[in-house]
Structure 1
Amino acid sequence: MLNNEKGFTLIEMMIVMLVISILLIITIPNVAKHNTNINNKGCEAYVKMVQAQVQAYEMDKNKVPTLQDLITEEYIKNDAKGCPNGKTVSIDSSGNVTAVVTP
């Protein structure tokens, strides 16, 4: 009497692993590309937020702030280190905010 056990054969399991591996090879580079894009969008949003706080500071104090002035007066949080993509925020003498790469 033969046992009629149902299950996957070794070949079927290897084919499934091959398909999963191909899907991973295709999706991982796309995820990495989108991660960079997300970090750049986050940096743009952070720069706009700091620019809005610079304008609020100018209206309150009638002078252009430095980044340290914004932190001291609690217009932005002290733990806000910069952009998610590694750039830091700088404020020029006319109050324009830009993200720059730090060496």
Structure 2
Amino acid sequence: MKKIKCQKGFTLIEMMVVLLIISVLILIAIPNVTKHSATIDEKGCEAYIKMVQGQVEAYRIDMKDVPTLSDLTDNDYLNDGEISCPNGDQIQIDATTGLVSVTEDVAG
């Protein structure tokens, strides 16, 4: 007589328990990720302003003048289309001091 080997696997109940646990973990994780997206955009804008400030200083050393955003793009200190923060906020360069900042929205 041949022995029949018992095939082992997951039962339907075990699979459903695993899916329930995964679903609960996803429900916990998604709100935390969306909550922090504004903070991430803010930090990205701060980092971008510091990078542009470095390019302004490099331009000032090379050209002995305070640049505008168009000066930076025309002379390849910034790429075309990279004149705003990743979150869409517009930046400006003070014509006298050369400090880079976010443009204040007067209407908002």
In structure 1, how many angstroms separate the alpha carbons of the residues matched to 2:95 and 2:13? 69
Question: What number of residue pairs does the alignment pair up?
Answer: 103
Larger radius of gyration: 2
Cα RMSD for the two superposed structures? 2.6
Matches within 5 A, 1:40-55: 40-55=42-57
Q: Any idea what SS the aligned residue of 1:64 has?
A: coil
Matches within 5 A, 1:1-103: 4-94=6-96, 95-100=98-103
In structure 2, how many angstroms separate the alpha carbons of the residues matched to 1:38 and 1:27? 16
- Per-residue Cα deviation, 1:27-78 (whole angstroms, up to 9, x for no partner): 1122233443333222111101111221222233333211001111111111
TM-score, normalised to structure 2, is: 0.75
Q: Which of 14-23 and 28-37 deviates more?
A: 28-37
In structure 1, how many angstroms separate the alpha carbons of the residues matched to 2:29 and 2:101? 33
Pair 1:100–1:10, CA change in 2 (3 A):
farther
Q: Which amino acid aligns with 1:96?
A: L
In structure 2, how many angstroms separate the alpha carbons of the residues matched to 1:92 and 1:79? 20
In structure 2, how many angstroms separate the alpha carbons of the residues matched to 1:84 and 1:61? 28
TM-score, normalised to structure 1, is: 0.78
In structure 1, how many angstroms separate the alpha carbons of the residues matched to 2:82 and 2:95? 21
Q: Any idea what SS the aligned residue of 2:102 has?
A: strand
Q: Any idea what SS the aligned residue of 1:77 has?
A: coil
Over the matched positions of the two proteins, sequence identity in percent amounts to: 51
